[in-house]
Amino acid sequence: MLKQPVRLLAIVVVTITLLACGQQESAPAATSSEVSKPTATSTATLAPPTATTAPPTPAATLAPPTATTAPPTPTATPVPPTPTPTPTPAVEYTTIEGLGFKLVVDGKVDVENSGLTADNATNVEGITSFEHGGVTSNLIWFQDSDSEVTSALYDSYTSLKTAHSDLTFELISEGDELVDSQSGKYLSYATTASSGEYQAGGITGSWRCLPETLFSLTVTGTDLFVIQVRFKRLLDKFTCTS
């Protein structure tokens, strides 16, 4: 029973094989004229890349050179001409000496000397008078070993008041002074005329030059300040010489 189906299967296989071979032999060969031309395939043409122009590199801007300001040429300062020195006038002095003392007076003055009990002044006694710088000065000296300097001072003041009886004297001040290292006294006063007119005044001072000579200096004038200056200057320039 099984042999017939197997036979049928073999027939079918053979038949299929023959059909396949027949088809391969009967297929005509394609001629060259019948070869179909290839279909042109449109190929996308790539456009050449557009050259991108790079922007020009900006040229470097040169900074303008900084102007260097030249320093101004200094103007020469004219040298002033050297002034011709004015010669300093020589200071004049008047020296009174040879009478037991030495006194230097500023300026050139005329001096009058006389004695108290005799005609001429000596080392023992005398008076010297002169005018200078707006004042009148009188220096009196005499020997007296017993009287005090204060007594000699007031005696001189009283004598001055007696000699100018037409004036009224008003005592202003009194005090101590130093003359050539010697102690002394002074007093100042103002004077008024009988008419009531102010007449300024004066200063009187007394001291002793050892061992026994008393001195009394009186300076009078119309300006109390000038009187003080002249009086002080004379005391500073007085020296005992014996």
- Ordered DSSP codes for 174-240: EEEEEETTEEEEEEEEEEEETTS-EEEEEEEEEEEETTTEEEEEEEEES-HHHHHHHHHHHHHTEEE
Q: What contacts 95, CB < 8 A, 6 or more positions away?
A: 102, 103, 104, 105
pLDDT band at 58 (very low <50, low <70, confident <90, very high): low
Asked if residues 230 and 105 have their Cβ atoms less than 8 Å apart, the reply is: no
Q: What contacts 177, CB < 8 A, 6 or more positions away?
A: 183, 184, 185, 186, 205, 207, 235
Of the listed ranges 61-75, 124-138, 180-194, the least confidently predicted one is 61-75
- Rounded CA-CA distance 133/131 in Å is 7
- Per-residue confidence (pLDDT) for residue 56, from 0 to 100: 64
Per-residue pLDDT tens over the stretch 161-178 = 999 998 999 999 999 999
Q: How far is CA 64 from CA 55, 58, 60, in A?
A: 26, 17, 12
Residue 204 has pLDDT above 80, yes or no: yes
- Rounded CA-CA distance 105/135 in Å is 12
Torsional class of 180: left (φ above 0), alpha (ψ -120 to 50), beta (otherwise): left
Dihedral Cα 186, 187, 188, 190, nearest 10 deg: -150
User: And the tokens for 111?
Assistant: 């001096």
- Per-residue confidence (pLDDT) for residue 68, from 0 to 100: 67
Mean pLDDT along residues 18-22: 43
Mean pLDDT along residues 155-159: 95
User: And the tokens for 114?
Assistant: 């006389």
Residue 19 has pLDDT above 50, yes or no: no
Q: How far is CA 1 from CA 5, 7, 71, 95, 208, in A?
A: 8, 11, 140, 200, 203
Domains of the chain: 93-240 (3.40.1000.10)
pLDDT band at 85 (very low <50, low <70, confident <90, very high): confident
pLDDT band at 38 (very low <50, low <70, confident <90, very high): very low
Residue 148 has pLDDT above 90, yes or no: yes
- Per-residue confidence (pLDDT) for residue 86, from 0 to 100: 80
- Per-residue confidence (pLDDT) for residue 59, from 0 to 100: 61
Per-residue pLDDT tens over the stretch 66-76 = 666 767 777 77
- Per-residue confidence (pLDDT) for residue 1, from 0 to 100: 46
The mean predicted confidence, pLDDT, of the chain is 80
Residue 205 has pLDDT above 80, yes or no: yes
- Provide the percentage of residues in the chain whose pLDDT is more than 70: 71
Q: Which residue has the higher pLDDT, 90 or 113?
A: 113
Of the listed ranges 18-22, 106-110, 173-177, 179-183, the least confidently predicted one is 18-22
Residue 99 has pLDDT above 70, yes or no: yes
For residue 17, the one-letter residue type is T
pTM: 0.64
- Rounded CA-CA distance 193/198 in Å is 6
